[in-house]
């Protein structure tokens, strides 16, 4: 049926008549399903032009939404025949997934926001039983390197929901820009939210645009984003990076930097890509500053997990800083790696005291992992394997497999080629749980995530091109019960189902990479990237 991600079980009765959705169709919403019914009505009414009003009490037929406590929260059943379509789930999240399956069954036009003339609406007779493999099915969106206006973020959330993904990892701060309003520290958006210019492509090309770039989300913008995502059963996990990737914050508040080795007052928000050496100093005052920041972050984001980065933190300034060395001695630490671990452990405890959990990139393993921390394993599987074997939860997002800023094909036509070639098939064959893990350790792999870094994506059109269609393949990996051996997966079957999925992407207005390559306007000739041809290393 061209369903993506593939359901757990599908049965189609022979010669059974389809359900016809028309102007007389009503939606019957059982208690607890009202929110999903409201969104389903809004989406389908826009596409069909039908009112789809609530059904009178006791009326049979139409679209029926119900909950069943014997099902898990994200598990659902969809049953369709000529008389009715019944959506049943263990909770609203599962019911929302069932509604997305219903949209797919209705055809690509169900994803449009106004009715097309002459359209007819049928649901084939079918019985579907479905549930996800992983509880964390995420996508990271980097809005620091290139800011995405709020409307674009909401659109991206709709794209995640359409593919049954349920976590938006929101990368809000970095060397190149701070994107979250912090009322206590206004210069984080007054100074750190913009940079004077940007590199265009990799530094070897020597190009800059000499155009100020910036933007930030007010706290009310972020509350709106969180609420919009929650209505689609997507959790927004904020990332505030520390102690590295902080030149923008240091530019705004120079006392946060290593002032005894660097003239931090002369720094600006960084205009290069890559990893800045200007990191936070490890003083108690800096810890208090970020506690104040996180107090406001927690008020906006109700997610259990808060991502604090912890990655790519050059230690040269700490090695040269008498203050940092005195701090190491004061705390009885062995070296700069243990000093970074001290910072992470501090916030692990601080978050735990407030009922939250810290998650960070796999560098937080260096110098000793904080007791309650979870790990985003990005430098391959190794960090995730070590963390899972030590009893820590892991989200697998290895750069070599699911960094969607990496190029989709070899050759000069790919815009600003970066990193490894990772085709749609490569992503489809990604397996989040490595065979080295025994059953107990494998249970600590709580999910998987595709990461979208935007150094070389200037706007939403570029994000569309890099992300799709590969995010559809990733969604199936995260959701469906695929063979654990990537070589045993039915690539031909998935490719055939994608032929039916491309029109859905078209209807959603997603400017994806076509199977035959980029359109002329999607190319960026002359802008230098950094292909690394399989060699590990920094990609920007």
Q: Which residues are catalytic?
A: 174, 245, 312
**Cβ–Cβ under 8 Å, residues 529 and 203:** no
Range list of H helices, 126-202: 150-162, 187-190
- Between CA 355 and CA 525 the distance in angstroms is 50
Helix (H) or strand (E) holding 241: strand 235-242
What count of other Cβ atoms lies within 10 Å of the Cβ of residue 353? 8
Helix (H) or strand (E) holding 129: strand 126-130
Looking up tokens 């506690």 gives 291
Helix (H) or strand (E) holding 336: helix 336-352
Helix (H) or strand (E) holding 36: helix 34-48
What separation in angstroms does the CA of 154 have from each of 228, 248, 331, 457? 7, 25, 45, 18
- Between CA 287 and CA 281 the distance in angstroms is 9
Q: Any long-range contacts for 192-198 (C-beta under 8 Å, 24+ apart)? A: 192/248, 192/249, 192/251, 192/252, 192/269, 193/248, 193/269, 194/269, 195/248, 195/268, 195/269, 195/270, 195/271, 196/268, 196/269, 196/271, 197/271, 198/146, 198/271
Helix (H), strand (E) counts: the chain: 17, 22
Instruction: Supply the DSSP symbol for 338.
Output: H
- Between CA 74 and CA 91 the distance in angstroms is 6
Give the closest residue to 104 by CA, choosing from 82, 135, 130, 133: 130
Give the closest residue to 298 by CA, choosing from 346, 344, 351: 351
HSE of 367, CA atoms in CB hemisphere, 13 A: 21
- Between CA 501 and CA 305 the distance in angstroms is 32
């Amino acid at each position: 049926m061209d369903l993506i991600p593939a359901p757990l079980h599908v049965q189609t009765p022979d010669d059974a008549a389809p359900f016809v959705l028309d102007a007389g169709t009503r939606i019957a919403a059982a208690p607890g399903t009202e929110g999903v019914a409201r969104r389903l009505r809004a989406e389908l009414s826009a596409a069909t032009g039908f009112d789809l009003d609530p059904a009178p009490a006791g009326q049979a037929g139409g679209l029926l939404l119900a909950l069943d406590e014997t099902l898990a929260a994200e598990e659902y059943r969809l049953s369709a025949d000529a008389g009715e379509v019944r959506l049943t789930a263990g909770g609203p999240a599962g019911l929302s997934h069932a509604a997305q399956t219903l949209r797919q069954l209705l055809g690509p036009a169900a994803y449009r926001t106004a009715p097309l003339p002459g359209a007819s609406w049928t649901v084939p007779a079918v019985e579907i039983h479905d549930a996800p493999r992983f509880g964390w099915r995420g996508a990271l969106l980097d809005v620091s390197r290139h800011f995405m206006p709020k409307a674009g973020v909401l659109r991206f959330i709709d794209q995640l929901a359409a593919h049954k993904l349920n976590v938006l990892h929101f990368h809000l701060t970095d060397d190149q820009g701070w994107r979250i309003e912090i009322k206590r520290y206004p210069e984080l958006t007054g100074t750190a939210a913009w940079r004077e210019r940007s590199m265009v492509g990799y530094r070897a090309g020597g190009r800059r645009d000499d155009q100020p770039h910036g933007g930030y989300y007010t706290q009310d913008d972020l509350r709106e984003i969180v609420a919009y995502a929650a209505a689609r059963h997507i959790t927004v996990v904020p990332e505030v990076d520390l102690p590295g990737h902080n030149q923008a914050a240091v530019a705004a508040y120079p006392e946060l930097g290593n002032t005894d080795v660097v003239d931090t007052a002369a720094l600006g928000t960084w205009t290069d890509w890559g990893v800045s050496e200007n990191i936070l100093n490890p003083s108690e005052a800096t810890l208090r500053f970020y506690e104040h920041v996180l107090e406001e972050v927690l008020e906006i984001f109700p997610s259990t997990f808060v991502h604090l980065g912890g990655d790519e933190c050059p230690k040269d300034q700490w090695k040269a800083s008498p203050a940092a060395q005195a701090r190491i001695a004061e705390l009885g630490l062995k070296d700069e790696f243990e000093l970074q671990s001290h910072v992470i452990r501090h916030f692990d405890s601080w978050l735990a005291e407030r009922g939250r959990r810290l998650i960070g990139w796999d560098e937080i393993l260096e110098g000793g992992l904080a007791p309650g921390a979870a790990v985003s394993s990005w430098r391959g599987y190794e960090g995730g394997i070590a963390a899972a074997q030590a009893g820590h939860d892991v989200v697998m997002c290895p750069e070599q497999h699911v960094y969607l800023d990496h190029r989709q094909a070899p050759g000069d036509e790919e815009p600003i080629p970066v990193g490894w070639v990772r085709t749609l098939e490569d992503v489809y064959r990604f397996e989040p749980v490595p065979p080295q893990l025994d059953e107990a350790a494998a249970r600590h792999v709580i999910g998987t995530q595709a990461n979208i870094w935007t150094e070389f994506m200037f706007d939403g059109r570029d994000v569309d091109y890099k992300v799709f269609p590969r995010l559809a393949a990733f969604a199936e990996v995260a959701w469906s019960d695929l063979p654990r051996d990537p070589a045993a997966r039915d690539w031909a079957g998935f490719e055939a189902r994608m032929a039916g999925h491309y029109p859905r992407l078209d209807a959603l207005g997603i400017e994806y990479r076509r199977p035959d390559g980029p359109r002329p306007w999607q190319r960026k000739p002359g802008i230098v990237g950094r292909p690394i041809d399989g060699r590990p290393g920094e990609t920007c």
